[in-house]
Amino acid sequence: MKAKFISLEGGEGVGKTTNIKFIESLLIDKGMQVLLTREPGGTVLAEKIRALLLDKSQESIAESTELLMMFAARAQHIKHVIQPALDEGIWVLSDRFTDATYAYQGGGRGMDIGVIQWLENFIQADLRPDLTLLLDAPIDIGMQRAKNRGALDRFESEQMLFFTKVRDAYLALAKTSPARIKVVNAGQPLDKVQAEIKIHLSHLIND
Ligand code: T5A
């Protein structure tokens, strides 16, 4: 079977990191070779860009700078990690990908969607995830989980209105791409979240 590219998306603290490990173990049980990665990040240079993006102690980052840094990190990630893995038959699981740019920079920051689409086509050509699991939960649940985990980064320190726009943008994306983006109710206990994830994965594997 051709290797597939799966991304996990959602707001802060909804459980992407927790569930990506669950997905990895499900796929390994099915005999797939799996690469776990994340955005922004995934290569040495892209992880340096991530550290700059999440650091709130430096000069304020202009919105256009933030957008270009996301795509600069993504270009490295695709060239050095994602595409080579897929070419070798390795399934790729990414904790966030370009839907996060549409949700955070497009929805949250209000940046021009046309510019994001242009950058997506320029950087990715026709590379898109085969399946995107959008973990959706009320914002206060995710933020409480993130707070319990420790100090908040530059994005997590945004105001409620920002996260509302991000969540709305994600749900709008899911409506426009229902075949690729599957919404999972991440406000439930973990076993129920994982039961939903398992159903979506089995459809992908059996396709
Ligand atoms: N960004 C990223 C952009 O603005 N544009 C982009 O293009 C991209 C790619 C990256 C930041 O960059 C921004 C968005 C982000 O702000 P990140 O680390 O990927 O940051 O994102 P975070 O949302 O900050 O990731 P977190 O690690 O905080 O959250 P997760 O991974 O969603 O949550 P997780 O799995 O760590 O879980 C949080 C806690 O909740 C518990 C877990 O055990 C953990 O303690 N938990 C549950 N508890 C109860 N019930 C459940 N169902 C639970 N699921 C998890």
Q: What CA–CA distances, in Å, run from 33 to 88, 94, 175, 199?
A: 10, 14, 31, 20
8 contacts 95 by C-beta, under 8 angstroms: yes
pLDDT band for position 126 (50/70/90)?
A: very high
pLDDT given for residue 89 in this prediction? 97
What tens digit of pLDDT does each residue of 84-99 get? 999 999 999 999 999 9
pLDDT band for position 152 (50/70/90)?
A: confident
pLDDT at position 114 over 90? yes
Name the β-bridge partners of 134. Answer: 9, 183
Query: Ligand 1 pocket: which of 134, 145, 185, 188 to mutate (most atoms <8 Å of CB)?
Result: 145
pLDDT given for residue 146 in this prediction? 83
Burial class (CB in 10 A: 0-12, 13-18, 19+), 3: middle
Tokens 């050509």 sit on residue: 125
Query: Ligand 1 pocket: which of 7, 18, 139 to mutate (most atoms <8 Å of CB)?
Result: 18
- Cα 91 from Cα 32, distance rounded (Å): 7
pLDDT at position 157 over 90? no
The reply to whether ligand 1 has any atom less than 6 angstroms from the CB of 15 is yes
In percent, how much of the chain has pLDDT > 90? 86
Position with higher pLDDT, 111 vs 144: 111
Q: What is the mean pLDDT of residues 185-206?
A: 96
Q: What is the mean pLDDT of residues 163-190?
A: 97
What value does the mean pLDDT of the chain take?
95
Tokens 């776990």 sit on residue: 36
Model pTM?
A: 0.96
166 contacts 14 by C-beta, under 8 angstroms: no
What tens digit of pLDDT does each residue of 69-83 get? 999 999 999 999 999
Phi, psi (deg, nearest 5) at residue 29: -60, -30
